[in-house]
Structure 1
Amino acid sequence: MSKIWQDNFSDISKNSRPSPIREMLSLIRQPGMISFAGGMPAPEVFPVDKFYEGVHILKDDGANLLQYGTTDGYPPLKEFLATWTAPRMGREASPEEILITTGSQQALDLFGWAMIDKGDLIITEDPSY
């Protein structure tokens, strides 16, 4: 990266270091590697058949789906997820209970903002995600 940009970085950016988790993730992608450290879900838990259904929905309603929408998510997707998760949770779920995030990191960030106050004690494993 050009030095001209590095001089303008914040102090936090200048002092940041790579995450050990990121390094673990690069290792588990090696052929034959079986690791329980990276937090990667088992491939068989992905509902691939439902992804195919989603592709058809995208084909039929893609122009609408790809537009900006409300920040709480696409209502038909939230309705589907509420129905899909209900038997897995052992209770009914409503679309209002569904929070769609870009991944676990965003979910943890939102949880932190919503539930943790300055000065609260947080206990984690080391290393921790």
Structure 2
Amino acid sequence: MLHLVRMPGMISFAGGMPDPDIFPVEQFQQAASIISREGKDILQYGTTEGYPPLKEFLAEWTAPKMGRKLLPEELLITTGSSQVIDLLCWALLDRGDWVICEEPTFLGATGTMYN
């Protein structure tokens, strides 16, 4: 797939260089104010279930998209797409199962699915 990146006119999204105009600067400022308010405790490891106020916020925020409000315990926060793909593969696939995905696709996904 890496040969596709070198094609004339190809725009690669692999480098992690999104348009700076879409960065949620105001939301980061709000998060920084929470850190300054709650101090060092907010930076400690939390429960493995995730930060409860974040899960409650996500439950509210996703409600219009989901057609109902999720319970916080129905949410699983991961560290990124590779982790969630790995978890889904372990939960849904058996060794030797086939997975069909579009091409080009995220390189991390195919590597995770092979394992």
TM-score (norm 2): 0.67
Q: 1:114 aligns with which of 86, 91, 105?
A: 91
With 58-67 and 83-92 compared, the bigger mean Cα shift is at 83-92
Partners of 2:36 and 2:85 lie apart in 1 by 32
Deviations 1:100-120 (A, max 9, x none): 111112111111122111121
Instruction: Give the AA of the match of 1:125.
Output: E
Partners of 1:74 and 1:108 lie apart in 2 by 22
SS of the residue 2:58 aligns to: helix
Correspondence 1:21-100 to 2 at 5 A:
24=5, 35=11, 38=13, 47-100=24-77
Alignment RMSD (CA, Å): 3.1
Partners of 1:61 and 1:70 lie apart in 2 by 16
In the superposition, relative to structure 1, how do residues 104 and 122 fare at CA in structure 2: closer, same or farther (>3 Å)? Answer: same
Partners of 2:58 and 2:88 lie apart in 1 by 20
In the superposition, relative to structure 1, how do residues 120 and 82 fare at CA in structure 2: closer, same or farther (>3 Å)? Answer: same
Unpaired segments of 5 or more residues in structure 1? 1-18, 28-32
Unpaired segments of 5 or more residues in structure 2? 107-115
How many residue pairs were aligned? Answer: 102
Partners of 1:91 and 1:34 lie apart in 2 by 40
**Identity over the aligned pairs, expressed in percent?**
50
